[in-house]
A and B are shown apart, each in its own frame.
Chain A
């Protein structure tokens, strides 16, 4: 290709077109995932499935709950459960539960809580899969319809020296 941009050649334009077609084609390629039985997302070539899934009246959620000595619940933040953003940790949590490694995670979270003063009242940790009525939740009824504990660990703190 000519070095001087003012004297660009047809060859240069053909190359530019090929590159452009290739990139646009690659970006549009994942559109076929929409009609697959098991679509697979990718990066940076995505089919952008966000917000397209149908939501049900009752939805399933994965989360970690800490209990204090009086049995009061406290939801454990994603920053303590794992590394990354909230959505990333949520997906990792589901993957861990489905892989049967929830007890291991509960133990890890318990160890992290033991080192945090702001969670000193928490005595145990549960990794939970729960079902909630979406509409009820947004009208103030925040109790789960059902819950199943997949992992449990007690928070063991070293005695203050």
Chain B
């Protein structure tokens, strides 16, 4: 067994792409800019609150500052947030923004109310502010590339881009874990899970809001007597919080946990009308995902397609069998299946970079290729995708194909978080009935040569 220290080192410092950190900086920065903009009037009103209500928290160690000065602090932080998002002079503006943002939120919360939903956003800003989050996808990277193409870090993969991501994830799970400990260490202990207290919390919150002039929440009234529902919600939320640290140790668990926590906050919004902006937006959980792939999904294919369009295509004999190498993947499918045929047509229309080639499981070319891959016995009900050295079948193959298509189809790749046996169960159910539900076309359409060359005959 590898020493724990070594495993931790690998976990924290495994090389990651600079673009991941750059993308996280853009997403967080954009969120903060939008959030500050929408709350600007509330921010500006802060210094006009009764100074006798001032109780400093966090890094605020002084009394209320001059009311005329405060708006300038807000505007300066907002300006720095824009520079942080753009990644301009990041070595200076990153830490400066993190510091100003921390002070501003501490000052805002020094008036008798701590908003726990803002904790993690400011911690994430600190991490990305001090890390090398502007080495890619930033104005710094753009200017650096113009000055000296050799010193461009945009496509770099390094440990320096991984630890901040792991730290962001750790801070998220720590906050949930602390919330679970507070519940278990509180007066109710494990009995918090019965749901009675959550129901009472919801009711008290609803009464407070009504007594402060808000309209009653009809949803809260509708579910108030459903005690079992509150038991399920309580147990679910406590488990989500208590086992949050597990999300760090497996990619898929991290995804599932993030999605679960995300929906938990939407549930809280529905039941209690409590708005946790950072959590509800989903931005809080972005560090758990390979966010740099948004670029590939959104516009990464387009430049590739344009580049291909500019370079004259080599003369290809229509009947020649192209080999599935390099930037191609080959999809093997049942050539006598109506559903498979429609799926292939669907892929052809949306695969603008011509990434996929196709072969029927019955064709000579397809059989020959499968034989070389030692996959001669592939069942006709199974679609197979060969991508480089990797082979994928059934639902995994279908979802991986969607991942390479034009937007918005790559979003379907999110279904990969569903356990494979479950996905393949649905796949097999449809595959077994495919010929009944989707009879094969009576006649094959004539394909233009540029499409025909993508089929192994």
Contact = CB atoms under 8 A, between A and B. Distances in A.
Interface of A: 4-6, 8, 12-13, 16-17, 19-20, 23-24, 27-28, 30-31, 34-35, 41-55, 59, 61, 63, 75-92, 95-96, 99, 101, 130, 132, 134-135, 137-138, 142
B256 interface: no
Contacts of A6: 156, 158
A17 B9 CA distance: 9
B211 A63 contact: yes
Contacts of B45: 83-84
B200 A88 contact: no
Contact of A77 (B46, B58, B188, B214): B214
B270 interface: no
Contacts of B167: 19-20, 23-24
Given A54-B197, A82-B49, A43 B210 contact: no
A58 to B, nearest CB: 11
B161 A83 contact: no
Nearest to B174: A27
B224 A138 contact: yes
B186 A78 contact: no
Given A34-B186, A88-B112, 9 more contacts: A8-B158, A27-B171, A43-B106, A49-B182, A52-B185, A52-B188, A78-B214, A88-B113, A134-B203
A63 B186 contact: no
B122 A48 contact: no
Of B163, B188, B211, most A-chain CB atoms within 10 Å: B211
A44 B113 contact: no
B211 A8 contact: no
Interface string B46-61: 1011101100011000
A129 to B, nearest CB: 11
A23 B158 contact: no
Interface string B142-182: 00000000010100101111010011001100110011011
Contacts of B111: 84, 88, 92
Contacts of B183: 51-52
A96 B50 CA distance: 10
B189 to A, nearest CB: 10
A59 B122 contact: no
A20 B186 contact: no
Given A132-B207, A134-B207, A137-B203, A35 B114 contact: no
B242 interface: no
Given A43-B106, A47-B182, A5 B135 contact: yes
Contacts of B446: none
A30 B160 contact: no
Contacts of B171: 23-24, 27
A78 B211 CA distance: 9
A99 B52 contact: yes
Given A17-B12, A24-B174, A52-B186, A92 B105 contact: no
B127 A23 contact: yes
A16 B204 contact: no
Interface in B31-85: 42, 45-46, 48-50, 52-53, 57-58
Could you say which of B45, B53, B102, B201 has the most chain A C-beta atoms within 10 Å of its C-beta?
A: B53
Given A13-B13, A137-B207, A77 B212 contact: yes
A28 B174 contact: yes
A74 to B, nearest CB: 8
14 contacts: A5-B160, A17-B12, A27-B174, A44-B120, A48-B178, A52-B182, A61-B207, A78-B214, A82-B50, A83-B48, A86-B209, A92-B50, A95-B112, A96-B53
A76 to B, nearest CB: 6
Nearest to A28: B174
B123 to A, nearest CB: 6
A20 B46 contact: no
Contacts of A130: 211
B456 interface: no
B13 A92 contact: no
B186 A43 contact: no
Given A23-B167, A27-B174, A44-B119, A138 B206 contact: yes
Nearest to A12: B160
Given A20-B167, A43-B109, A90 B179 contact: no
Contacts of A30: 178
B262 interface: no
Given A27-B171, A75-B213, A5 B116 contact: no
Contact of B178 (A8, A17, A31, A78): A31
B286 interface: no
B204 A55 contact: yes
Contact of B114 (A43, A82, A142): A43
B208 interface: yes
B25 interface: no
B52 A134 contact: no
Nearest to B132: A5
Nearest to B241: A48
Nearest to A51: B201
Contact of B213 (A13, A16, A78, A95): A78
